[in-house]
Amino acid sequence: MESVTIYHNARCGKSRGALEILQQHNIPFTIRWYLTEPLNKNELKALVKKLQIQTSGLVRKNESLYKEQYAGKEIIEKEWISILAEHPVLIERPIVETADSAIIARPPELLLEFLKLK
């Protein structure tokens, strides 16, 4: 199986669950610690395209930063790229990416079908 990248936050239970699934199924993976190695705008655009979602679908709306600064504001999709590049804590997690697609693994069990594991 091809190697995958997991955009990981070790403090997140769902992210740890996705990592555990990759380990249990011996899937080769690379961890991208996206909070300490933020994605740049081009990486975010490419990821959103692979996820086949609008950029706003990548935003964690339960984060206090979102509630304090962005909730209720009209923000166009292009603006979210800059916001997420500047504030990676707002990026939904975990994300698992292959060469040609990606998934927000919430719940982590979504990886089983995405990676064709059972």
Q: Catalytic amino acids?
A: 12
Element (H, E) at 11: none
Maximum Cα–Cα distance for the chain, whole Å?
43
Instruction: Compute φ and ψ for 5, nearest 5 degrees.
Output: -115, 135
Alpha carbons 108 and 57: distance in angstroms, whole number:
17
Size (the chain), residues: 118
